[in-house]
């Protein structure tokens, strides 16, 4: 996994904690949003990732499309040509890299692609030092700032929530670690930021989307060994 894909997958963590806010009034918004999200056992949305090499860059250097589908505790996420599939029945997380024609299998349901985020939501939010809530007539904006010494992957997070349905529309992640990039002065090191726009929320999933969540459409057991299905016969399981 290259460092940009790693950052995108880390972004999942904050998509899944989209309704966290601070202070008493903010916690009221949190509770309201959690109750709203818990009403839907299924949903899908489109994701648009824009990677900026620095915190203040005006032009992005990479732009990837993504799709997220949830059905109960199972989830499907596609970022560019990489798929993350979480199946709670088998306690399996499958990663499929179409460019490398490779698969990896894990039983760690705590990785960022895990959709079961509600139980530890408040613990994650509490790790941020400063929290600020602002609003317009249509949107809540939450700013979370990490302490100066922190193991969090982000120094700051901005979350934008639509007031009409309590759904996230955008998140901006300010990455704590430095990564290389090129400018007119040559190769530099800087802290990047990742902007993720979320559109086309749907609370019902189509039959074709449901197939994407079926682990049997990717791997199966043959002679006691897990192997790719025929559609992925040229893929290697790492």
Q: Which pLDDT tens digit goes with each residue over 203-227? A: 899 999 999 999 999 999 888 899 9
- Domain ranges in the chain? 3-237
Q: What is the pLDDT of residues 80-125, one digit of tens each?
A: 999 999 998 888 999 999 999 999 998 866 544 433 333 444 566 7
Q: How far is CA 203 from CA 13, 38, 89, 167, 191, in A?
A: 20, 11, 22, 11, 35
- Mean pLDDT taken over the chain: 81
CATH class belonging to 3-237: mainly beta
Dist CA 77 CA 8 (whole Å): 11
Dist CA 238 CA 230 (whole Å): 17
Q: By percentage, how much of the chain surpasses pLDDT 90?
A: 41
At 89 the pLDDT is: 87
Give Cα 43 to chain centroid, integer Å.
14
% helix / strand / coil in the chain, to the nearest 5? 20, 45, 35
Question: What average pLDDT does this structure show over 55-74?
Answer: 92
Query: By the 8 A CB rule, do 111 and 95 touch?
Result: no
pLDDT at 2 over 70: no
pTM over 0.85: no
Q: What is the pLDDT of residues 137-179, one digit of tens each?
A: 999 888 888 898 888 888 998 888 889 988 888 889 999 999 9
Give the residue with greater pLDDT, 144 vs 56.
56
Dist CA 14 CA 34 (whole Å): 14
Partner residues linked to 157 by β-bridges? 144, 173
Give the residue with greater pLDDT, 23 vs 209.
209
User: What tokens were used for 24?
Assistant: 């008493």
Dist CA 2 CA 17 (whole Å): 24
Q: How confident is the model at residue 17 (pLDDT cuts 50, 70, 90)?
A: very low
Q: Write the CB contacts of 170 (distance below 8 Å, at least 6 apart in sequence).
A: 158, 159, 160, 195, 196, 197, 198
């Amino acid at each position: 996994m290259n460092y940009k894909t790693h950052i995108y997958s880390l972004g999942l963590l904050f998509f899944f904690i989209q309704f966290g806010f601070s202070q008493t009034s903010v916690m009221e918004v949190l509770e309201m949003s959690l109750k709203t999200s818990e009403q839907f056992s299924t949903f899908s949305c489109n994701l648009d990732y824009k990677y900026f090499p620095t915190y203040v860059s005006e032009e992005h250097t990479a732009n990837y499309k993504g799709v997220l589908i949830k059905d109960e505790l199972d989830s499907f996420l596609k970022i560019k040509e990489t798929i993350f599939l979480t199946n709670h029945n088998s306690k399996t997380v499958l990663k499929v890299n179409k460019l490398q024609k490779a698969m990896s299998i894990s039983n760690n349901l705590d990785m960022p692609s895990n959709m079961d985020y509600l139980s530890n939501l408040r613990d994650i939010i509490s790790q941020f030092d400063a929290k600020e809530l602002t609003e317009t007539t249509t949107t809540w904006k939450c700013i979370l700032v990490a302490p100066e010494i922190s193991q969090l992957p982000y120094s700051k997070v901005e979350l934008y929530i639509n007031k009409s349905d309590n759904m996230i529309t955008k998140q901006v992640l300010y990455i704590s670690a430095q990564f290389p990039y090129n400018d007119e002065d040559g190769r530099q090191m800087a802290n990047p930021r990742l902007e993720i726009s979320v559109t086309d929320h749907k609370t019902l999933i189509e039959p074709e989307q449901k197939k994407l969540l079926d682990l049997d459409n990717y791997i199966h057991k043959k002679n006691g060994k897990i192997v790719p299905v025929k559609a992925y016969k040229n893929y290697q399981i790492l």
